[in-house]
Amino acid sequence: MHFEWEGYTVHDAANVMRRFINHLPEPVITVEYQSLFKSIVDGSFPSIESKVGAFHTLIEQLPVEHQHLLLYLLDMLYMFSLHSDKTLMDRSALATSFSPGILLNPSDSMNPAEYKEAQRTLEFLIAHQHKFTVPTVISDQHLYRDQCNI
C-alpha cells in the first residue's frame, strides 16, 4: 500500500499520532504512576541530573510496552520541537497537545490544574529525553533458562 502525502502536512501526521495516543485504552504513563511523575517536576532536587534520575527510575517501573512507547514519543516530540520554526510547535505547544494521552488521568481531563501539571511534566520530559535510555528486555525464554539453570 502506498500513501500519497501530497496535500498533507506534518501537522496532519502529528494529529493522527495524537488521536491514536488519546484513544489508547490507558494513558502511556499509567494512572498509578501519574501523581509520582507530576510530583517530581516541582520537587526539590540537588541537580537536574538527579531529577532526571528520579524520572528514569519511574519510567523503569512502567510496563515495558509503556516504557518503549513513552521513550519513542519523547524522542519524536523532541525532534518536532527542534524544527519549531517550520512546525510552529515548540516544546510547550507539543506538551499541551500530547499530554492528554501521555500523562493525564481521564478522570482529571476537565481539571485545569491537573492539565497544566501534566503539561509541565511532559515538557520537562521532552527537554531531557536524550538522557533516558530504552530498557533492556530479557526474553521469557532466557528468564526461564536462568531459573531452571539450563
pLDDT tens per residue across span 7-35: 888 778 888 989 999 999 999 999 999 99
Mean pLDDT of 71-83: 93
Closest Cα partner for 105 from 38, 42, 54, 43? 38
Selected residue with higher pLDDT from 149 and 114: 114
Closest Cα partner for 128 from 88, 86, 78? 78
Cβ atoms within 10 A of the Cβ of 66, count?
19
pLDDT of the residue at 136: 64
Closest Cα partner for 49 from 137, 139, 124? 124
Residue with cell 531452571: 148
pLDDT of the residue at 81: 93
